[in-house]
């Protein structure tokens, strides 16, 4: 599933390619993606509107329009979703589920092979507000609100493994499986260690590691493991920089032949770590 860096890469590309353009009409919509699709509601909310900006919150993209009328468009890539621009008249594929026709002759297309994505209209009280459904999300990890003091206080008393806690979107918004493993490796923290037993000094290392690994991945255009591509069809290159994720059995890049990367299952997800470097 695309995580924060991949969604941010897509958001930035959409901002460059679609912001400032007017949607003529919703020209195609499937019956459902992850949830039933309200094609009529999406058409009413977007047709004739000029796109103002694309914002990101956690793994969601929020689309604002020049004329504010109390609603915004919420997009989620799911596990395999992607966007692209194509010329009007280009034949659509079976996996092209939502299509907006833009002034100027382009189609803005949402493709999702597994149909776990989302396209929805949400009410907001004022321009620039977030939809109410985001109220329970934790702070953005690249913001100042995600600090060592904040994380230590959220971890306090928790018996759950730190890897599971890092994946909790009410604690940190947008961090998923890949970057949780990578950040814990950079911080030298064992993924099975109880979150509440991590010292303030090590929590500080973890906060820095989360921020750095996400920033590094954004610079590289995200990580492509299987399906992720940006608006131009390019894959994310951070997969070339991964230290532990997907590398079970390989020598550790830090301690070399002394330890090899191991894989365990936590809360139904694969976790990769070095037993020699992560205590």
Query: Which residues have a catalytic role annotated?
Result: 2-3, 59, 269
Tell me how far apart the alpha carbons of residues 156 and 169 are, in angstroms, rounded to a whole number. Answer: 17
Residue 211: helix, strand or coil by DSSP? helix
- The tokens describing 105, both together, are 């002759």
At which residue do the structure tokens 């290159």 appear? 237
Residue 162: helix, strand or coil by DSSP? helix
At which residue do the structure tokens 């608006």 appear? 231
Q: What is the dihedral of CA 67, 71, 76, 81, to 10 degrees?
A: -50
Which residues sit opposite 65 in a β-bridge? 51
Which three-class secondary structure string do you get for 225-279?
CCCCCCCCCCCCEHHHHCCCCCCCCCEECCCEEEEECEEEEECCEEEEECCCCCC
Burial of 14 (0-12, 13-18, 19+ CB in 10 A): buried
């Amino acid at each position: 599933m695309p995580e924060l860096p991949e969604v941010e890469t897509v958001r930035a590309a959409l901002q460059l390619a679609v912001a400032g353009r007017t949607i003529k009409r919703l020209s195609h919509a499937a019956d459902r993606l992850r949830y039933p699709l309200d094609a009529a509601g999406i058409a009413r909310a977007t047709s004739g509107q000029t796109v103002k900006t694309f914002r990101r919150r956690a793994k969601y993209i929020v689309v604002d329009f020049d004329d504010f009328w109390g609603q915004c468009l919420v997009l989620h890539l799911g596990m395999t979703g992607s966007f692209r621009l194509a010329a009007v008249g280009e034949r659509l594929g079976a996996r092209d589920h939502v299509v907006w026709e833009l002034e100027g002759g382009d189609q803005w297309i949402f493709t999702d092979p597994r149909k776990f994505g989302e396209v929805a209209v949400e009410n907001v009280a004022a321009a620039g507000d977030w939809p109410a459904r985001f109220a329970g999300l934790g702070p953005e990890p690249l913001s100042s609100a995600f600090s060592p003091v904040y994380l230590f206080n959220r971890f306090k008393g928790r018996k759950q493994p730190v890897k599971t806690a890092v994946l909790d979107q009410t604690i940190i918004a947008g961090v998923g499986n890949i970057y949780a493993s990578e950040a814990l490796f950079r911080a030298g923290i064992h993924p099975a260690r109880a979150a509440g037993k991590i010292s303030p000094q090590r929590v500080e290392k973890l906060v820095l590691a989360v921020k750095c690994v996400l920033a590094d991945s954004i610079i590289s255009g995200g990580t492509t493991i299987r399906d992720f591509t940006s608006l131009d069809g390019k894959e994310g290159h951070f997969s070339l920089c991964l230290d532990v994720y997907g590398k079970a059995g390989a020598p550790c890049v830090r301690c070399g032949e002394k330890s090899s990367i191991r894989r365990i299952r936590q809360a139904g997800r694969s976790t990769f770590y070095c037993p020699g470097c992560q205590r």
